[in-house]
Amino acid sequence: MPYSFTKIEEDKSKTITFVFSFLIIFYFLSAWLIAALAKNFLIMEGRSYDHNLSWAPLNFSETFMVLLVSLIVSAGHWLFSVQNVIANMLKVLDAEPLNPDDTYHQMFRNILDEVAVATGGNAIEGVVVPTMAMNAFALSDFSGRSMIGVTEGLLSKLNRAQIEAVVGHEAAHIVSGDCLGTTISTSIFALYNGLLNGITKLLDQSRYTRSSYGYRKSGDSAGGVVVFLLLIYLILMVTRFLSLLIRMFVSREREFRADAVSVRLTRDPLSLAEALYKISSRWRGSGLAGEELEAIFIVNPQFSNLDEQSGMLADLFSTHPPVDQRLAVLLDIAHSDLKSLDEKIKEEPSFKKSLPDFVAVKPQPATPAVPVQWMIHQDGAWRGPFSLTQMTGLNGLKPETWIRKNDGPVIPMYDDPQLRDLLQNRIPVTPAPELLNAKPPEVEVLMCPRCHLKLSPIYYEGGKILRCFYCSGVLVSENNVKRIIIRDEFTFSEKIQRLAQGIRETRDKWGQGTQHIKTANLLTCPQCNPLNVKMDHRFYTAAYPVEIDQCFTCGSIWFDPDELEVLQCLIEQRSQERDEKHEK
């Protein structure tokens, strides 16, 4: 039965009362223990030679002060978390808004709009997390703002029906009202994980210092500081355990309810089962920032044996029910079974296709403003003279072809305004339909750093990049490079695979070296050309030594021919090897 607005408002009130009360108690107990430890530590420091020390508890006035401080701090923490909950969590997740020039993002936006209509017209925002992991999440706050996020890996690995089912699941959390309690409680209690990680780093650093320089004498206060940090660490471990108790408030049953609502919205239980199967059997995001926010995700980013168990302990401390139980319910509705699902996914057709070439067009003659003639240098000899009309019909002309205008100096073609226009007119107006929409978006005119001619916008792996028609180099923003690497729409030719194999053999033989490559001739960044900013010539990473040119002012990356495809091929090969190793 769907929730009524009255029921949702009642749940909001319960959420506020329960979480805020728990927060006050949580702060008070933690502050009391830390204050008591600090008091006894100071007493021991002042009476270091007295061996008859005993534990000194806090008196009434000290306890009252701790309670007062706890109330103030918890109220401030609550107000900050409630007012900035979505913004703070998106920052932790490194999420980005949808790119209107990205076809994958637009498909996701269309699905969000469809689901919003199906759920009563609730406005739902969308964000993406640029990672190869596969997962999705939903967020809500008290102002009524709602948001659904997905990873780039999920967008690239699932088909449209499966993505619709996932979005329907997350939308169910929003309309039922349970997303609010999960968002608020997760945001508040994730703070202690950050404190615990900070103390861990301090202890590691202290351990390294003592192992490097030896132990100091017993009277040195440094040893006492380490002991104090260790005690604080133990307390934070306890508070971390207490924060796990909040999971009792996040019932595992809400995932079953959301699955059911998604089936009602999409009428496609099999697609949701397929999506859950793929997400659970691949990398979900363990090790990335935000994994401690596991309650908001459709599947726990880090694999947990507790998640896959049943019983009181699992029900208390796990936010997600076993995936096999969720699949069993969905497959029963779809009149299928796990074996059939596994076979169906293995037999799914590949979405990859060969990268098409540009559509050739006939050269368009241009009328010279002044009757002049040019000599051109081809095949080791000078030819000509030619008029502009004659130059239009010549083959093999390139931006770097040497020319001499009348008796002028020898220069490359791209330095002659009239011949540069001639070359520009040879660039196809309409590339292949697989690469460019019928109405290309308006973009700032940028010039190729090698050919000095206008770059043309194309769509590659769903993202917009700029390509030079003559040298086939491409200019890609830093964020789009990440998305392109995650996606694998196209197959790789034998040439690309051969180049990738050669790089792997060289890397395995000589090891991973530095990323920087020294060179005298640096390219000028097309994006920062007015400022004459030079791009750094380097390897993409030491693990993937593919040469690139990157501008560290705007982040744009220039790939010469084949470099982007070779980089994709290398990363995809490593990913396949990792999956095969995992399956074994």
CA distance 385 to 382: 9
**The whole model's pTM is what?**
0.65
Q: Look at residue 71 and tell me if it is in a domain.
A: no
**Based on the structure, what is the number of domains in the chain?**
3
Identify the pLDDT of residue 120: 77
Query: What is the full per-residue pLDDT of the chain (584 aa) written as tens digits?
Result: 344 444 444 555 555 566 656 667 776 777 777 777 777 777 666 555 555 556 677 777 888 887 787 777 767 766 766 777 888 888 888 899 998 888 889 899 999 998 888 887 778 999 999 888 889 999 988 888 899 999 988 998 898 999 999 999 999 999 888 888 788 777 776 545 555 555 565 555 555 454 444 444 444 445 555 666 666 666 566 555 655 555 555 566 788 889 999 998 888 999 999 999 999 888 887 766 666 788 889 988 877 665 666 665 555 556 678 888 899 999 999 998 888 888 888 776 655 555 444 433 344 454 444 467 888 888 777 888 888 777 777 777 777 788 888 777 878 777 777 777 777 666 654 444 444 443 444 446 888 998 888 888 888 887 788 988 888 899 998 888 888 888 877 788 888 888 888 888 877 776 666 666 776 678 899 988 888 889 988 888 888 888 899 998 888 999 998 899 999 999 888 887 877 776 66
Beta bridge partners of 475: 466, 558
For residues 391 and 487, membership in a common domain is answered with: no
Do 301 and 288 touch, CB atoms closer than 8 A?
yes
Instruction: Write the CB contacts of 398 (distance below 8 Å, at least 6 apart in sequence).
Output: 413, 451, 470
Do 170 and 258 touch, CB atoms closer than 8 A?
yes
Q: Look at residue 487 and tell me if it is in a domain.
A: yes
Q: Look at residue 55 and tell me if it is in a domain.
A: no
Do 145 and 126 touch, CB atoms closer than 8 A?
no
Both tokens assigned to 479: 């964020």
For residues 137 and 273, membership in a common domain is answered with: yes
CA distance 29 to 70: 9
For residues 154 and 261, membership in a common domain is answered with: yes
For residues 153 and 289, membership in a common domain is answered with: yes
Query: What's the CATH code of the domain at 267?
Result: 3.30.2010.10
Question: Sheet holding 474-476: strands in order across?
Answer: 456-460, 463-467, 474-476, 557-559, 547-550, 536-539
Q: Look at residue 95 and tell me if it is in a domain.
A: yes
Beta bridge partners of 465: 458
Q: Look at residue 209 and tell me if it is in a domain.
A: no
For residues 311 and 257, membership in a common domain is answered with: yes
Q: Look at residue 214 and tell me if it is in a domain.
A: no
CA distance 283 to 279: 7
For residues 150 and 255, membership in a common domain is answered with: yes
Q: Which long-range contacts (CB under 8 A, 24 or more apart) does 146-153 make?
A: 146/122, 146/174, 146/179, 147/86, 147/90, 148/112, 148/124, 148/174, 149/90, 149/93, 149/95, 150/108, 150/126, 151/285, 152/104, 152/128, 152/482, 152/483, 152/486, 152/487, 153/282, 153/283, 153/486
For residues 176 and 259, membership in a common domain is answered with: yes
557: domain range? 456-583
Find the helix or strand (DSSP H, E) in which 191 lies: helix 191-213
For residues 407 and 476, membership in a common domain is answered with: no
Q: Look at residue 577 and tell me if it is in a domain.
A: yes
Q: Look at residue 138 and tell me if it is in a domain.
A: yes
Strands 374-378 and 146-151: unpaired
For residues 166 and 304, membership in a common domain is answered with: yes
The residue written with tokens 């204050």 in the block is: 35
DSSP state for residue 396 in the 8-state scheme: S
CA distance 193 to 44: 29
For residues 266 and 166, membership in a common domain is answered with: yes
The residue written with tokens 């319960």 in the block is: 14
Instruction: Quote the radius of gyration of the chain (alpha carbons, Å).
Output: 31
For residues 384 and 254, membership in a common domain is answered with: no
For residues 129 and 254, membership in a common domain is answered with: yes
Do 522 and 550 touch, CB atoms closer than 8 A?
no
Looking at 326, 346, 366, the residue that finishes a domain is 346
Find the helix or strand (DSSP H, E) in which 476 lies: strand 474-476
Do 450 and 468 touch, CB atoms closer than 8 A?
yes
